[in-house]
Amino acid sequence: MKVFHAVALCTVAVAVSVSAFAQTIQVSKENRTISVTATDKVTVMADIATVHVGFIAYGPSSDAAYAAGSRTSNAIVKALTGAGIPSESIQSENQSVAPVQNYEVEKLSDAEKAQRKFQVTQSWTVRTNANEAAKVLDLAVKAGANQSGQIDWSFKDENAPEAEAAAKALKHARTQAEQMAQSLNAKLGVLLYASNEVQPSLIRPMMRAMAAPMGMEKVQPLAINPREIEKSATVTAVFAIE
């Protein structure tokens, strides 16, 4: 939804700040202005995915749990780098070795409890192209990443969609100002000042995310499509009128 507010200033002397350097636009009968505020948005498909992958491994002792965790940890990283994912795109998120709390295993048998005295957890973020998100997740899970799945969607150039939204808002601000100037029997002049406020991003629901049927000889990656991200901007523009 587009929102427009406009005020014509003709007879009152008002100073409008145009920068942090105390530059001002003097508003008077000789220097009349129209101020318009407009909000607009764009919806763009994300081109970057940050995939969260991790695992939890257990053992009857701290050393045993650590050994199991080490095998899984190195297997996951090896699977990712072996598939051509740059090591700098794989960043550690957290890791820990800790005793398992009683409430976590209270429903297990005594034999199972004995094998789960300690646990090792570790997680990473993997930054990749949006269309590679399913591949990254599949590689990690098949290598032992049993605590994975969250994906953050973003852009290679975060400024591009924000600039596009601001440009649309400024265009509508000018249109509104022209209509106001006509109603005042005046002609719209040059743009004297413009400010831009970017609104928080909204992420639209994922287009499709579903698991492949089970029971197949070769399990396919999950079907994951990038999300659409909505960027909006509010522009305040001050135009001279003649």
DSSP 119-184: EEEEEEEEEEEGGGHHHHHHHHHHTT--S---EEEE-SSTHHHHHHHHHHHHHHHHHHHHHHHHHT
3-state secondary structure of 100: coil
Do both 40 and 72 map to the same domain?
A: no
Residue pair 181/35 in contact by the 8 Å Cβ criterion: no
What gap in Å lies between CA 56 and CA 58, rounded to an integer? Answer: 7
Q: What integer pLDDT is reported at residue 127 of this predicted model?
A: 97
Neighbours of 60 (CB within 10 A): 13
Q: What integer pLDDT is reported at residue 214 of this predicted model?
A: 40
Q: What integer pLDDT is reported at residue 236 of this predicted model?
A: 94
Do both 53 and 33 map to the same domain?
A: no
User: Which is it for the CA torsion 63, 69, 74, 75, positive or negative?
Assistant: positive
Residue pair 53/76 in contact by the 8 Å Cβ criterion: yes
| Domain stop point among 109, 127, 154 | 154
Q: What integer pLDDT is reported at residue 8 of this predicted model?
A: 38
Residue pair 207/142 in contact by the 8 Å Cβ criterion: no
> In sequence order, what are the residues at sequence separation of 6 or more whose Cβ sits closer than 8 angstroms to the Cβ of residue 69?
55, 57, 97, 120, 121, 122
Query: What are residue 24's DSSP bridge partners?
Result: 17
Neighbours of 52 (CB within 10 A): 18
CA angle 211, 146, 138 (to 5 degrees): 45
Q: What integer pLDDT is reported at residue 26 of this predicted model?
A: 57
Neighbours of 200 (CB within 10 A): 7
Do both 174 and 77 map to the same domain?
A: no
Do both 52 and 146 map to the same domain?
A: yes
Do both 149 and 60 map to the same domain?
A: yes
pTM for the whole thing?
Answer: 0.73
What CATH code is carried by the domain that includes residue 178? 3.30.110.170
Neighbours of 23 (CB within 10 A): 11
| Domain stop point among 125, 154, 183 | 154
Do both 97 and 193 map to the same domain?
A: no
Domain that holds residue 61: 48-154
Q: What integer pLDDT is reported at residue 207 of this predicted model?
A: 35
Each residue's pLDDT, cut to its tens digit, for the chain (242 residues) gives 333 333 333 322 233 333 332 345 555 556 688 999 999 999 999 999 999 999 999 999 999 999 999 999 999 999 999 999 999 999 999 999 999 999 999 999 999 999 999 999 999 999 999 999 999 999 999 999 999 999 999 999 988 999 999 999 999 999 999 999 999 899 999 999 999 887 776 665 443 333 333 444 578 999 998 989 999 999 999 999 98
Total number of residues shown for the chain = 242
H helix or E strand, kind and range, residue 103? helix 102-105
Q: Are strands 48-59 and 151-154 parallel, antiparallel or unpaired?
A: antiparallel
Do both 148 and 194 map to the same domain?
A: no
Q: What integer pLDDT is reported at residue 197 of this predicted model?
A: 84
Do both 68 and 123 map to the same domain?
A: yes
Q: What integer pLDDT is reported at residue 9 of this predicted model?
A: 36
Pull the structure tokens for residue 156: 């290679």
Q: Which amino acid is at 184?
A: L
